[in-house]
Homo-oligomer: A and B are copies of this chain.
């Protein structure tokens, strides 16, 4: 079987071109279009400062219908006032011209530096060119995946499929995110890095259900990854369902399969973000078990995953578990260290209020692996949460001290 990609689901075309917005020569303007009106759902940043494209996208998504997305990287079009609003609208107008639809059928997005006006001459040429090179091959899918990258060192793609009456349904996605990553995504009708994610499927599915599934999948994937806990002004995940398979997903076992595949795709993308965090040398998977509530479990997992001290210890392969327990202790959650149990890479380092015996050399060696598992069992209830992060390295500082405005 050929590798699945963003355009494997029928009904979509995409492109990515270099318009000269990014400093390095790499695609920076892209289109992801549906051949016919698609069901659409999206979740957006909870930052109270939102970029112009986010404000517009929130309006455009409310109909539950879309003909696709336009995106640029290299410039966030955030904190750019009314000029930024006009520019975001113009991006939609230009994409709508390429798609043969109306402005409000296009979902815009931008990612890059905050506080600079978009170079609209370049954007205009870029979107026109992107309109000419649309296609549904894997190459087109990869070009679009590359278009949204900024400080990312590699593209992030995931896909899953399942069968309904022997006919395959595919869910696919691409995303970007490496720094300014602490997404807290919620639907547009609620208030809510840049993390950008684009998901496609050929299933036929009603917009309210699509929205509900995306919200739920985001909570345990995009909203559970943190690089620096800095929620961006531009975060968005967009899910487009073309319906081209002719197969409706409404409930029962098919909905279960669909949900499972969607969760798998979103969690894979989130993991890839953590793995490619700015300066990261490893992924740190923080699992909190037996917490008093689901919110407590996530609060504790996030406190651990966000602690610079924990992340530096991981960078140094140091089994300094005191930093993990103390981070759990200051999370806004119920926690009793006399009941808790902590393992690093499977080795018990702390149990019920006391240090446990372990071989520090062997554990330090195990912490050099690409993935580190931190498992904290609270013994206060039955709830659990997983959060993905990465270590904090000197390279994170270099990237963010030297990435000048």
Contacts from A to B (Cβ < 8 Å): 46-50, 76, 78-81, 83, 113-117, 179-180, 182, 184, 228-233, 307-309, 312-313, 315-316, 318-323, 325-330, 334-338, 350, 353-355, 360, 392-394, 396-405
Contacts and interface: CB of A to CB of B under 8 A. Distances in A.
Contact of A326 (B81, B233, B320, B334): B233
Contacts of A49: 325-326, 328-329, 335, 337
A86 to B, nearest CB: 13
Contacts of A307: 228, 230
A396 B328 CA distance: 22
B394 A230 contact: no
6 smallest CB-CB distances across A and B, nearest first, come from: A114-B322, A316-B401, A49-B329, A312-B400, A81-B354, A231-B330
B47 A326 contact: yes
A405 B320 contact: yes
Interface of A is mostly: loop
25 contacts: A46-B330, A47-B326, A47-B330, A48-B330, A48-B335, A49-B325, A49-B335, A50-B329, A79-B325, A79-B350, A79-B353, A114-B320, A114-B321, A116-B355, A180-B323, A230-B323, A231-B330, A308-B392, A308-B396, A312-B397, A312-B401, A321-B405, A360-B405, A394-B398, A397-B397
B400 A316 contact: yes
A89 to B, nearest CB: 17
A355 to B, nearest CB: 4
Copies of this chain: 2
A54 B27 CA distance: 56
Contacts of A315: 397, 401
B313 A401 contact: yes
Given A326-B233, A329-B49, A309 B355 contact: no
A337 B397 contact: no
A309 B400 contact: yes
A208 B312 CA distance: 41
